């Protein structure tokens, strides 16, 4: 672990929606050495608040549409409720967290997704140059731990709902020019499994050659493919490693025990 190490960790609904999981995750997060950035989605709370406000989820072809009302809700829930409670918890643990959207400090810009067959509404797509890496580095070097919610802006005053996995990956690629960057995705499994029915069959290391083998053997297929494809793209773009694991095992890193599946150029 060098002074120039950066861990970017993404958490989703299975951590955020359960206050006990969140508490334990944040306790382990604060113990990670080096620079770190947390990226979170909104979990089920946005859906619950929408329902309470009588806002109907608009779906087209099974995909959620971010209309004006939904954008208000995600700005409240992701940017306010979830983000500020995570920050307050981290402060309690002595981590100097600062809660951010992409609008804050102009740190992450996006473009409103163009309307083709579907109008997704106020959804932002990232582009080359979306990430203001020097701005983020200045916060890290000033002693702050950025906590990003899944919101960006277009630079013209418009906030945009943006996929948290995509934000985490783009942050990792952009920051890898300045830091030795590892990207950690927390999800519900202990890692990539050799046998999908055996939670203990975690494959600990995958490099591009092994990945090809695992695909040919059909051990990795369907839902995991886009996640891993994106991970290897990030690695090809300079990210040192992408780790996929379960949030409540994060403490293993500090104890030098195995954590999740580590994807990298060379195992």
Residue ranges binding a second copy (CB under 8 A): 49, 52-54, 72, 75-81, 83-85, 87-89, 91-92, 96-101, 103-106, 138-139, 142-144, 151, 153, 155-159
In the annotated binding site, the residues are: 42-43, 64, 161
- Side-chain half-sphere exposure of 183, counting CA atoms within 13 A: 31
In the complex, the smallest distance separating the C-beta of residue 222 from a second copy, rounded to whole angstroms, is 35
Asked if residues 231 and 205 have their Cβ atoms less than 8 Å apart, the reply is: no
Q: In this structure, what token pair is assigned to residue 61?
A: 């072809």
Asked if residues 25 and 15 have their Cβ atoms less than 8 Å apart, the reply is: yes
- C-beta closer to a second copy: residue 79 or 245: 79
In the complex, the smallest distance separating the C-beta of residue 122 from a second copy, rounded to whole angstroms, is 11
Asked if residues 42 and 77 have their Cβ atoms less than 8 Å apart, the reply is: yes
- C-beta closer to a second copy: residue 72 or 215: 72
- C-beta closer to a second copy: residue 100 or 253: 100
Helix, strand, or coil (residue 177): coil
Residues facing 60 on adjacent strands? 63
Asked if residues 89 and 95 have their Cβ atoms less than 8 Å apart, the reply is: no
- C-beta closer to a second copy: residue 154 or 248: 154
In the complex, the smallest distance separating the C-beta of residue 92 from a second copy, rounded to whole angstroms, is 4
Question: How far is 236 from 231, CA to CA, in rounded Å?
Answer: 9
Distance of CA 66 to CAs 11, 107, 193, Å?
A: 21, 22, 34
Kindly tell me the number of DSSP H helices and DSSP E strands found in the chain. 10, 14
In the annotated binding site for substrate, the residues are: 42-43, 64, 161
Asked if residues 226 and 235 have their Cβ atoms less than 8 Å apart, the reply is: no
Phi, psi of 203 (to 5 degrees): -85, 120
Neighbours of 223 (CB within 10 A): 7
In the complex, the smallest distance separating the C-beta of residue 163 from a second copy, rounded to whole angstroms, is 18
- C-beta closer to a second copy: residue 149 or 264: 149
- C-beta closer to a second copy: residue 63 or 92: 92
In the complex, the smallest distance separating the C-beta of residue 138 from a second copy, rounded to whole angstroms, is 5
- Side-chain half-sphere exposure of 146, counting CA atoms within 13 A: 32
In the complex, the smallest distance separating the C-beta of residue 68 from a second copy, rounded to whole angstroms, is 12
């Amino acid at each position: 672990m060098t002074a120039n190490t950066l861990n970017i960790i993404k958490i989703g609904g299975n951590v955020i929606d359960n206050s006990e999981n969140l508490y334990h995750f944040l306790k382990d997060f604060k113990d990670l050495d080096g620079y770190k950035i947390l990226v979170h989605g909104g979990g089920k709370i946005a859906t619950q608040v929408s329902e309470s406000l009588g806002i109907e989820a608009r779906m087209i072809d099974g995909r959620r549409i971010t209309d004006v009302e939904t954008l208000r809700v995600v700005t409240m829930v992701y940017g306010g409720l979830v983000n500020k409670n995570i920050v307050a918890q981290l402060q309690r643990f002595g981590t100097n967290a600062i809660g951010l959207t992409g609008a804050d400090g102009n740190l992450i810009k996006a473009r409103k997704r163009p309307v083709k067959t579907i109008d997704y509404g106020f959804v932002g797509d990232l582009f080359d140059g979306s990430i203001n890496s020097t701005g983020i580095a200045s916060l890290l070097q000033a002693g702050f731990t950025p906590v990003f919610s899944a919101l960006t802006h277009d630079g013209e005053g418009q906030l945009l709902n943006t996929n948290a996995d995509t934000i985490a990956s783009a942050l990792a690629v952009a920051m890898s020019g300045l830091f030795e960057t590892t990207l950690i995705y927390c999800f519900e499994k202990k890692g990539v499994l050799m046998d999908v029915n055996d939670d203990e069959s975690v494959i600990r290391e995958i490099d591009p050659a092994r990945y090809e083998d695992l695909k040919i053997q059909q051990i990795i297929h369907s839902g995991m493919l886009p996640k891993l494809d994106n991970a290897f793209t990030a690695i090809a773009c300079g990210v040192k490693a992408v780790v996929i694991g379960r949030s409540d095992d994060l403490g293993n890193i500090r104890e030098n025990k195995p954590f999740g599946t580590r994807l990298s150029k060379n195992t």
